Amino acid sequence: MRRPQPLDKVEWVSRDSVKPNAYNPNHVPPPELRLLRISILQDGWTQPVVVHRATMTVVDGEHRWTVGGDPEVAAMTDGKIPVVFVEGDEAARMMSTIRHNRARGEHLILPMGDIVNALLKHGHDKSDVCFLLQMEDEEIERLTDRAGMPEKMGRGTSEFNQGWVPG
């Protein structure tokens, strides 16, 4: 039998009624924070903020909470943010924060290059890709070049030969 889940009850609450926790070790640099803002403006809210109900403290989603205070983002939902509530003592909340943070993966270079190349092939302008993915022009250049490197070298494979053989 399926157990009830926090996601079963997404609620829209005033962003100002929620506060960040004092222990989050995760930091998002300004470029990624700008990307999160663009993501919410372009796609809407796709993930709720996880909040401890008794204290109205963020367990996961502090950066979504932060971006929710942006005037343009706030205007989309009358200053409200989507939340799901969890219970637990402070130690349980700390561990939950760490699990949420560490469970997110990393982007690999070659697959990112494939995606950037596909976007450009589909007719997206390079400047739009730069803005919408918050990448520098040089990063786009490197990704498009790197993704095609094996083909440019005539190998047609992602395997690179050794530069030397140990003696």
* Cβ neighbours of 85 (radius 10 Å): 17
Beta-carbon contacts of residue 129 (< 8 Å; ≥ 6 apart)? 116, 119, 120, 135, 140
Give dist(CA 81, CA 91) in Å, integer.
25
Q: Give 2-25 pLDDT, tens digit per residue.
A: 999 999 999 999 999 999 998 888
Give dist(CA 144, CA 164) in Å, integer.
27
153 band by pLDDT with thresholds 50, 70 and 90: very low
Q: Give 112-146 pLDDT, tens digit per residue.
A: 888 888 888 888 889 988 888 888 889 888 888 86
Beta-carbon contacts of residue 91 (< 8 Å; ≥ 6 apart)? none
Residue 28 in tokens: 């998002």
What pLDDT score does 17 carry?
98
Give dist(CA 155, CA 88) in Å, integer.
55
User: Rounded to the nearest 10 degrees, what angle do helices 137-147 and 109-121 cross at?
Assistant: 100
